[in-house]
Homo-oligomer: A and B are copies of this chain.
Amino acid sequence: MSLAHAILASLVEEATSGYELVKDFNERIACYWQASQQQIYRELNRLEEQGWIAGERVIQTDRPNKKLYRITPAGLQALKEWVAQPSDPAAIREELLVKVLAGYLVDPLVIRAEVQRRREYHQARLEHYHQVEEAYFQNLTAAPLPKQFMYRTLRRGIRYEADWVAWCDETLEWLNGTASSATPGTKPEAAADWLATNLG
C-alpha cells in the first residue's frame, strides 16, 4: 500500500489533480517511485473512499474541468504513522543483469550494444538531475525543511544514476577487451564456482 502513501506525501503541501500527479510521478518522483496513470487514478478513488483525501471539482473555461485533491486530517495522521514504521529495502528485478549473466550465449555485440544503451539512458537522467540540483537546490541551509528533505531524495537519484553509468563504463571496458575475442555460442563450462557460498 505504499503508492497510497507516496500520493499522500505529494498532497501534503498543495492540492493537486490526478493529471498533475501523473506528471509529478513521471518527473520528480520517478527516481524512487514509479506509477502509471491508471494506478494513480485508481488509488485516488480508493483514498477518497477511505477519507484520506478529499476531491473537489474545479470548473475551468480555458481547459477541460479537473478534480483537485487535498489531504484530510485523517490522511495526514495515517501518513505520519506509516512514515514512523520501519520498511524493507526494495526488491531488485533487473532484466539487464539476467541478460549479462547469460551474455556468453549470444554474440558479444548484443550485450555491448545493450549496455551502451543503458549507459546513455542513465547519463541523460543524471544530467537532468544535475540541472534540477543547480536550479532549485542552491541555498539549502536557508531553505525550509521540506525542501531539504526533498533534496535528499534527489541526491539518491543522482547517486543511483551516476553509479549505473560507472558500472556500464567498467563493463564496456571489459567487453572491449576479453569478450570481443570470444566466439558467440561458446560452450558453457562449469562457472558457478561460488554456488556454495551463502548469505549469512
Residues of A within 8 A of B (CB): 2, 5-6, 8-9, 12-14, 23-24, 26-28, 30-34, 76, 79-80, 82-84, 86-107, 110-111, 114, 117-118, 121-122, 124-125, 128, 131-132, 135-137, 141, 143-150, 152-153, 155-156, 159-160, 163, 166-167, 170-171, 174, 178-179, 182, 186, 188-195, 197-200
Contact = CB atoms under 8 A, between A and B. Distances in A.
Given A92-B31, A102-B79, A163 B153 contact: no
Contacts of A124: 200
Contacts of A121: 89
Contact of A193 (B23, B110, B128, B136): B136
A157 B163 CA distance: 11
A195 B153 CA distance: 14
A1 to B, nearest CB: 10
Closest 7 CB pairs of A and B: A146-B191, A32-B97, A147-B191, A87-B95, A136-B194, A9-B102, A104-B145
A99 B87 contact: yes
